[in-house]
Amino acid sequence: MKNLSLIVLIFLLIISALIFNLFDANKKIDNYFELNNQIIHISQLNTKLQEFSKNNLSSQNYKEIQIDINTIKNIFFNIENNKNYIQHKKTNFYKKILSIKILIEEEIEIIEKMNSFNIIFNNSIKNIQILKSKIDHNKFDKFYNIALTLNYQKSIDIFEIKNELNSIGFSNKQEEDFISNINVIFDYYTKKEDFQTQISNLNLFNEINTLHNIFEFYMQDIIKNIKKSMIIFIVLLSISILLFIYYAYSVLKNKMDLDKFKNALDISDNIIIITDEKHNIKYVNQGFEKTTGYTKEEVIGKKPSILNSGLLDKKFFDNLKSTINNGEKWNGEFINRNKFGKITYEKTSITPIKNQHNKIVEFLAIKLDITKEKEYQNILTQQSKMVSMGELLENIAHQWRQPLSIISSLSSSMLIQFQYANPSKEELQTSFEKIFETTQKLSNTIDDLKNFFDKNEEIVAFEIGTTIEKAINLFNIKLEFNEVQVEFEKINNCILEGKESEFIQVILNILNNSFDAFKHKNIKNKIIRINTNIEDNYLKIAISDNAGGTNSNILDKMFELYFTTKHKAIGTGIGLYMVYQIITYHLKGRVYAKNSCLITQEKEENKGISIIIEIPLN
């Protein structure tokens, strides 16, 4: 989604830039054409100015020229404010416009001077026409005619005529004024030629033609740049379109892959549940429906707690919620109840799903229905317990012989005393106390046996040292009868949470494994040593014997189901497998075996096997 937004943004930016560039290019072209039209207009007006300077001047003509002069000034003002013109400040185009402006200003100044002289000239023409009737015609007719027709007589030497006029002299005021006005007319024509020469020397036609050429070059350059920009934008647009097509293809492909994955999830035997951040169910697959009996429609929008069997405590769920709400993956086992009330066991992994802002938006739970495995494991557990029961009953038979013999002897003695003597109160009390103490021991043995086979035992906190002693006591008669000595270094105040009977079964199975290893071996001092200690918040229990050890290849297989090196008459291959199952899955620890060397009190070194148990205490 983020990539799509980026591509769309780039696409829109390129489109916007392309539109802006087209608009800007059109505007620039319009401005350049406007500049071109203004330059052409200046050229046309300049032609009129020069024609005006060459022809006879009149006030009416000058008024028209004055309009053209104002137009030229406005054109230059517009040019100077044109953006395209301003952008070319350092170019020949800009400099040439500025140069032409200065030259035209000079031309206008000359024309304005010519206009001033023209006014004087016209006044002088009027004056000589008025004075003609008041002067001597014989002296001045020649000069009068020349003055009126001088504009058409290009071959007349004005300087020579002026000298001739001034040499005549005058006899009255009218003649003096006439000569003065004639001189003004002659001077006007002289000045007019000078002004025309000045205008001609400005060379404005060539300058404007040069400007046209420069402008044409810049126009071609601008059009070329616009074409380049257009090509670049079209290429970028094409690339963005290709990217969009590629992304759309990728999205489609991912969607197809996602659909395949979803179909795979739907038909998977695993149970898949997806919830939102508030733990409301959003999705379940067919495996969920098959295992729980609920349909999708029945559970969507509800909490997974509808499956709660009530067999797991609040601490379990608090730990689960704390783990996943902190963004961590949780692994564990659920004991749930399906729609029809049947208990199901599910091995579960719950993973928080986060968005691009690292915020949890969903939870993905993948569950494996292990109900059948649990049932099978329970069967194996019961089988193991039944095997243990036979051994324990044998132990109890040995264990109870002595207490029963004591009770029988005391009872017989008391009966004889009642029949043939008068027993004292103290003697009776002593006998009763001994009988009570002995029966209490028998009762404790029955309680231990009852607890060991209790199917509904709850998870409790138990003290490790005491529990190991219980296991030793259950097995002790058998060990003593076969001269197997148990050395136990008890650890105090070490508490573990779990099913105590399962832990007793672990110790019994390991003790029995060592006991069987001593059979048919001529070992003088048979020893089973139990060491317990705490390292790095782990409880470590090492149960070692000196029964000779075994092949290293066998060590790796000892905890496999039905694996045994014993004769079929005494070995089932279940005992150590149950040890592995209970330690690994119920107590979240590890168990392994290794060959070891046990040193006796006589400093003798005897080879044997050590079974190491490591259980986390947290």
Q: Report the candidate in 450, 590, 593, 442 with the shortest Cα–Cα distance to residue 517.
A: 593
CA–CA separation, 589 and 609 (whole Å): 20
Q: Tens of pLDDT along 401-443?
A: 556 666 666 666 666 666 666 666 676 666 666 666 667 555 5
- The pLDDT confidence band at residue 571, using thresholds 50, 70 and 90, is very low
pLDDT of residue 238: 82
Q: Which residue has the tokens 């492909």?
A: 253
What pLDDT is attached to residue 464?
92
pTM > 0.75: no
Average pLDDT, integer, range 17-46: 74
Same fold across 270-369 and 379-616? no
Non-local (6+) Cβ contacts of 366 within 8 A are: 270, 271, 272, 348, 349, 351
SS3 label, residue 156: coil
Closest C-alpha to 391, from 456, 482, 486, 309: 482
Mean pLDDT (the chain, rounded): 78
CA distance 406 to 400: 10
Q: Which residue did the predictor score with more confidence, 47 or 544?
A: 544
Predicted confidence band of residue 95 (pLDDT cuts 50, 70, 90):
confident
Greatest mean pLDDT range, 61-65, 236-240, 310-314: 310-314
Choose among 515, 521, 522, 577: nearest CA to 543.
515
Laid out side by side, the sheet with 605-616 consists of 484-489, 526-535, 538-545, 605-616, 590-599
pLDDT of residue 614: 94
Q: What's the pLDDT at 455?
A: 52
Label residue 88 by pLDDT band (50, 70, 90).
low
CATH of 270-369, one of 3.90.209.20, 2.60.120.620, 2.60.40.420, 3.30.450.20: 3.30.450.20
Please give the average per-residue pLDDT across 255-270, as a whole number: 71
570 pLDDT more than 50: no
At 477, the amino acid letter reads I
Q: Above 50 in pLDDT, residue 569? A: no
Query: Is residue 49's pLDDT more than 70?
Result: yes
- pLDDT value, residue 567: 45
The whole-number pLDDT of residue 281 equals 92
**φ, ψ of residue 295 in degrees (nearest 5):** -90, 165
Distance CA(466)–CA(491), nearest Å, equals: 9
213 confidence band (pLDDT: 50, 70, 90): confident
| CA–CA gap between residue 576 and residue 607 (Å, rounded) | 20
Give the ranges where 133-203 is alpha helix by DSSP (H): 137-149, 158-168, 173-202
CATH value of 379-616 in 3.90.25.10, 3.40.50.1400, 3.30.565.10, 3.40.640.10: 3.30.565.10
pLDDT of residue 568: 43
Q: Which residue has the higher pLDDT, 518 or 63?
A: 518
- The region of weakest confidence among 56-60, 197-201, 368-372, 595-599 is 56-60
**Residues contacting 495, CB < 8 A, separation 6+:** 461, 462, 463, 464
pLDDT single digits (tens) 537-558: 899 999 999 888 888 777 878 8
Distance CA 88, CA 101 (A): 16
For the stretch 467-504, pLDDT in tens is 999 888 878 777 887 888 899 988 888 999 888 888 88
Q: Cβ–Cβ contacts within 10 Å for residue 432, how many? A: 12
- At residue 68, the pLDDT reads 79
Q: What percent of the chain has pLDDT over 90?
A: 9
Spatial separation of the C-alpha atoms in residues 524 and 511, rounded to whole Å: 18
What local confidence, expressed as pLDDT, does residue 388 receive?
57
The most confident of the ranges 349-358, 415-424, 577-586 is 349-358
Residue 55's pLDDT band, with cuts at 50, 70 and 90, is: low
Domain boundaries, the chain: 2-130+199-221, 270-369, 379-616
Distance CA 372, CA 566 (A): 29
Lowest mean pLDDT among 296-310, 338-352, 391-405: 391-405
* Helix 464-481 × helix 500-518 angle, to 10°: 30
For residues 293-321, give the mean pLDDT: 89
How many residues appear in the chain?
Answer: 618
CB 518 within 8 A of CB 485: no
